Chain A
Amino acid sequence: MIEVRNLSKRYGTNLAVDNISFDVAEGEILGFLGPNGAGKSTTMNILTGYLSASEGVCKIDGIDILENPLEAKKKIGYLPEQPPLYLDMTVTEYLNFVYDLKRCKLPREKHLAEVMRLVRIEDHAKRLIKNLSKGYRQRVGFAQALVGNPKVLVLDEPTVGLDPKQIIEIRNLIQSLGKGRTIILSSHILPEVQAICEKIVVISKGRIVANDTPHHLATQLANESKFIARICGPASDVLRAVKELDGVLFAELQNQMEGETADYLIESQPGIDVRKPLFYLLAQRSWPLIGLKNYDMSLEDIFMELVDHSSGEGEKA
């Protein structure tokens, strides 16, 4: 549905988006994740035709946004980071204007009522937008994107600045809209993307550092060779002995508990299982092994690792 190939955007000498490519299949919800200033909004602005790419191709439903912008734009509903609202209009007036602007063919009254019902602003239809709270303005912005029933929705940080209850409502809304629509959603909040999206693209400093499902991303990076062992024994001796064990790459004391019991994070070389040798070593030294568990990386850790990794590479380059 959405095809992005080798997209780059230069602002003067500053490279905001650096050769990114990704696809979004029909009906998929893609999460666009990255720290602030990573190039998320720029990419979304290019996708929707607000900005033009310096290089690369971007196709919506097979239509190039640069070559045939009017046709491509008909298929997109866009909610920018700051909802583009005319504050001196009422909600109904505004949505009617958007309806005209998008040259919508659906039955006007019915369609606008449906859109307002979806984002739950029917009760505020006659109010001036400038008198609405931030959460309601966001919803009006959302309604604007939904006018014309576009196949593709591009949402730039749709939950920023909302209170927790509103965030959950907007999330549920996105999920319900996801049925039958292709959605791209940007965010710098991980749990949000994890909760809603079927696919995640992680972007940092204008480059894609990961592109996968949340589950895959977690398992792929969750290092199988990392585990946490709870051992009862003198900390410094234990640590020294463990480090000397064949195949152990790295070991550190994680947290000290009562007595001599402590958790140790141990990383082995890939392909070598050090758990058995570790057990025998500890048995030999009479340091009881109380617990052993795999070290699960949260998406947060993965994100940090990816971003750190990419910025490290960037500095080297």
Chain B
Amino acid sequence: MFAIFKRELKNYFISPIGYVLLAIFFAFTGIIFFINNILSNTSEIAGVFNAIMSTLLMIFVPILTMKLMSDEKRQKTDQLLLTSPVSPTGIVLGKFFSAFAFYAIALCITVIYGLILSVYGEPSFSSFVGNFVATLFVGGALISIGLFLSSLTESQMIAGISTFAVILAVSILGNIGSSLTNPVFAAIANFFAIFQRANEFLYGVFNVSTIIYYISIVAIFIFLTVRVLEKKRWS
């Protein structure tokens, strides 16, 4: 598993894609930080995280995950992975954590914004940590969805576009959940409200059940991805 993690993480930096993604991430958050905090003279950093969640992840995650599984199939390198002494779960976990680690590295840029703010003002530490953790968890959940969709196809393009569509759908579903009257539909919509669940964190409230919710989402999609790999053997 560690070998795959290492290779994938390194791979982001071998090809230009890793640098492009980091550049987009840094530029986007930098502009938001400048407009939201520097220009408006406030130490409230939530706006930056809010922008990451509501807009940036929709583009960032599909690009990050589209290649993960689909390219192995296309290049037939899955034959190497599946015939080496690594379990399918190990393969999928290695892939997931490589993408997640890359995302975490990108997200660490916000620590610098926090430090800049602390020089000129007194930003709330708990609010910063809450926002950071929420954004990290939401990203992790979306990455696991992208990973699963990538395992369904040989085409990076299809994987990327479908991940984008699903993230869009999840974001819409979460927003309409509260206005649904049918309890069943409302429950379904609320379950998939990946973005809205993070709201508690934004106010600095650490709720164990919310943490478990995100870990469950990741576990479900990792499990499904492993099933897709296994299914290929039996079909």
Contact = CB atoms under 8 A, between A and B. Distances in A.
Contacts of B125: none
A70 B89 CA distance: 12
Nearest to B11: A88
Given A86-B77, A98-B80, A101-B86, A50 B233 contact: yes
A216 to B, nearest CB: 32
B235 interface: yes
B72 to A, nearest CB: 9
B235 A73 contact: no
Contact of A144 (B4, B76, B80, B235): B80
A144 B79 CA distance: 12
B75 A101 contact: no
A101 B2 CA distance: 8
A122 to B, nearest CB: 22
Interface in A57-91: 69-71, 73-74, 76, 78, 80, 82, 84-89
B227 interface: no
Contacts of B80: 78, 80, 84, 98, 101, 144
A78 B81 CA distance: 11
Contacts of A48: 83
B182 interface: no
B233 A100 contact: no
A85 B76 CA distance: 8
A292 B178 CA distance: 97
Interface string B75-93: 1111111111111000000
Contacts of A85: 75, 77
A70 B85 contact: yes
B14 A88 contact: yes
A117 interface: no
Counting contact residues on chain A (CB < 8 A from B), the size range is 20 to 34
Counting contact residues on chain B (CB < 8 A from A), the size range is 20 to 34
B74 to A, nearest CB: 11
Given A85-B77, A88-B11, A76 B87 contact: no
B76 A82 contact: yes
Contacts of B87: 69-70
Contact of B3 (A69, A78, A86, A101): A101
B77 A84 contact: yes
Contacts of B7: 86, 97, 100
Contact of A11 (B6, B82, B85, B235): B235
Contacts of A86: 7, 75, 77
A49 B3 contact: no
Interface in A20-57: 45, 48-52
B85 A100 contact: no
Contacts of A49: 82-83
B15 interface: yes
A78 B4 CA distance: 18
Contacts of A98: 80, 84
B83 A87 contact: no
Given A11-B235, A50-B233, A73-B84, A100 B2 contact: yes
Contacts of B86: 70, 101
Interface string B187-226: 0000000000000000000000000000000000000000
Given A97-B7, A100-B6, A101-B86, A80 B79 contact: yes
A101 B79 contact: no
Contacts of B15: 88
A97 B79 contact: no
Contacts of B2: 100
B84 A52 contact: no
Contacts of B79: 45, 50, 78, 80, 82, 84
A103 interface: yes
Contacts of A144: 80
Contact of A73 (B4, B6, B14, B83): B83
Contacts of B6: 97, 100
26 contacts: A49-B82, A49-B83, A50-B79, A50-B83, A50-B233, A52-B234, A69-B87, A70-B85, A73-B84, A74-B85, A80-B83, A84-B75, A84-B77, A85-B77, A86-B75, A87-B75, A88-B14, A89-B14, A97-B6, A100-B2, A100-B3, A100-B6, A100-B7, A101-B80, A101-B81, A144-B80
Nearest 6 pairs between A and B by C-beta?
A100-B3, A84-B80, A84-B77, A48-B83, A101-B3, A73-B85
Given A50-B79, A97-B6, A100-B7, 6 more contacts: A69-B87, A70-B85, A80-B79, A84-B75, A84-B79, A101-B4
Interface of B: 2-4, 6-7, 11, 14-15, 75-87, 233-235
Interface of A: 11, 45, 48-52, 69-71, 73-74, 76, 78, 80, 82, 84-89, 97-98, 100-103, 144
